Structure 1
Amino acid sequence: MKKYAFGVDIGGTTVKIGLFETNGELSQKWEIPTRKEGNGSKILPDIAASLNDKLKELDIPKEEVAGVGIDVPGPILDDEIVNRCVNLGWGVFNVAEKVRKLTGLDKVKVANDANAAALGEMWQGGGESHQNVVMVTLGTGVGGGIISEGKIVAGAFGASGEIGHMLVNKDETQLCGCGKKSHLEQYASATGIARKAKELLAESSEESSLRGVDQLDAKAVFDAAKEGDKLALEIVDFVGETLGTALASISCVFDPEVYVIGGGVSKAGQILLDTVQKHFVDAAFHASGGTEFALAQLGNDAGMYGAVKMVL
């Protein structure tokens, strides 16, 4: 049995790389810059050079490497082909084939970054011991990943798990970042929570500690809610209802064992989890009422873990 494998998480600023043992233990991790000039033409050669240098440094023969898993911030087809990745300047091409040629390693698989993070959390994070998992990432936007029977569900066009673009309010007038409107991302993301807080503060004359906050962001809202601030609790309940109801709809289609909540907003902790779960139970079909909710545990390493899991 081969002893090592690489997990590679390509971000817009840096590429995180992990050298794993095939038992799942992370041996080393490091970062290199994501050089996006030339339509991202330097990214894969830089990754290959870093992998090859690490093998040379540690005197590991390539015959001992089970493979390379890579996640990309864009849709992926057939575990190999990127279907346009605007953030990196990439069009449509076979990432896996390119990396095979650059590294001389035979087994290379590629996934969308949110899907890889979901797989990582299923494997060694908040979804551990489950095989059917939906991960929800609440950050600047809202992302997601679906794992069915331990495998990533990518969809026919690589867009499976894009739950942030579910329609949740047909009366919304402002546009989502994708150019359309009424999407979950506009309410449950860090940006959406801050927007909702500003709207409620403008509409209400009620006293609130949020009125004295210089930087009104999602963290400030949840911190105030934990202290019992009435307006902050109203915002948190709105977010929980919007997200919980959306997840209840997902359960009618996929019916996961557990929802894993990650991203910067998830640092709010139990108050977020409890509020979302309460509204989920209120809205869900009775058979799905026992679905578990958990916080993500792997942080920024989740993508690396999921990427490497694909080749093990």
Structure 2
Amino acid sequence: MSDVIALGIDIGGTNVKVALVKADGDVIAQGSVPTAPERGPEIFVKAVADYARQLTRENEIEWATIVGAGVGMAAFLDVERGWVEESVNLHWRDVPIVELLEKALDKPVRIDNDANVAALGEAWLGAGRKAKTSLCITLGTGVGGGIVIDGHIHRGASTMAGEIGHIHVKNQGALCNCGHYGCLETLSSATAIVRAGKEAGLVGADGDLTAKDIFALAGQGNDVAQGVIDDMIYWLAVGLGVAANLLNPNVIVITGGVVNAGEALLKPLREAFAKEALIRVARVCEIVPAELGSEAGVLGAARLALQAVAS
């Protein structure tokens, strides 16, 4: 397996990352092309395949040595069929993306959503690499999650496992994009922090308030900002406690822009989590920051392809 090379493809709303990754996780080369979804799936797929072939040529790698491709993207997917059922970011619906990519690349292709793929990357080479069971939480516009057990993504019956952002945590809470009220992501996402900060009268350094501004204000002794953060951390600990009591993970990996706050977020979160989870669950579960950053997706995607070859 040491000479095996897989393609990792991480489809974002603006750019598509493509990487050539060895079986040990070593990245030979990577780059990106514009996503431009408005051109349609067929032209999109051709652009990605052309770039992947270009990357192999530039690095003097024979196309025949590529064993397959893994793909991660933000979408509701039918993983078994390889279909994009709906991608809000790309404005696609009912697209047989795996079939299109397999024809363009002439390689087997595996696909999963971006949160699962990032979780797999962290479990393979990042903060969850020593864990039997890991839960990866993304704090961004919403709250995403991915579960990895024994090195493999746990998807559930309809590939919806890990949707921790939609755990109901607060009665009579705010309306979530999913149509329910009181979901975790209405209280603990970066979007939720900023909304709460604005409602409390906080103003950003440049006028436009961000989560980073709120943590900075709290660090300067602003009690209102600290109250916003305390509230966010409390609800996040409630959601993590529910998830951990179900999964009993070795590690919870936190990723997304909010984690840049470091111990200002993680220390009180660990303390609150210890009060919410069962004692026997909390004492074996570490809460740690992600290690791979923006590389988690493309590495996890390559891992999907490598696992398919090994199975």
Asked if TM exceeds 0.5, the reply is: yes
Distance 2:151 2:4 in 1: 22
1:37 matched residue in structure 2: 38
Amino acid at match of 1:180: H
1:84 has 2:77 as partner = no
Conserved in 2, the CA contact under 8 Å of 1:79 and 1:109? Answer: no
Task: Say whether residues 1:71 and 2:64 are aligned partners.
Answer: no
Q: Paired residue for 1:293?
A: 287
In the alignment, the residues of structure 1 paired with residue 232 and residue 295 of structure 2 have an alpha-carbon distance, to the nearest angstrom, of 26
Partner of 2:298 in structure 1? 304
TM superposition shift of 1:256: 1.0
CA offset digits 1:236-275 (Å, max 9, x no partner): 1111110011110011211111110110111111111112
| 1:304 Cα deviation from its structure 2 partner | 0.3
Given that 1:74 and 1:84 are in contact with CA atoms closer than 8 Å, whether structure 2 keeps it comes out as yes
TM-score, normalised to structure 1, is 0.90
CA contact (8 A) 2:211 2:258 kept: yes
In the other structure, the counterpart of 2:7 is: 6
* TM-aligned CA deviation for residue 66 of structure 1: 2.2
Give the CA deviation at 1:294. 0.5
Secondary structure of residue in 1 paired with 2:200: helix
Give the Å deviation of 1:141.
1.5
Partner of 2:309: none
Q: Distance in 2 between matches of 1:187 and 1:217?
A: 15
Give 1:175's aligned amino acid: L
Gaps of 5+ in 1: 202-209
Q: String of CA shifts for 1:5-37, please: whole Å, max 9, x gaps.
A: 111100111101111122211121111011211
1:137 and 2:130 aligned: no
Distance 1:241 1:260 in 2: 17
Computed over aligned residues only, the root mean square deviation of the Cα atoms, in angstroms, reads: 1.8
Equivalences for 1:92-241 in 2 at 5 Å?
92-105=94-107, 107-172=108-173, 174-201=174-201, 210=202, 213=205, 214-241=207-234
Structure 2, gaps ≥5 residues long = 307-311
Where 1:135 maps in the other structure, the secondary structure is: strand
Query: CA offset at residue 48 of structure 1?
Result: 1.1
Conserved in 1, the CA contact under 8 Å of 2:42 and 2:100? no
Task: Report percent identity of matched pairs.
Answer: 35
Distance in structure 2 (CA, Å) of the matches to 1:225 and 1:288: 31
> Partners of 2:140 and 2:189 in 1: how far apart?
5
Q: Deviations over 1:193-247 (max 9, x none)?
A: 011122334xxxxxxxx45742322111111222332222222111111001111
Query: Which amino acid is 1:83 matched to?
Result: E
The one-letter amino acid of 1:296's match is: A
Secondary structure (helix, strand or coil) at the match of 2:89 reads helix
Q: What amino acid is the match of 1:154?
A: R
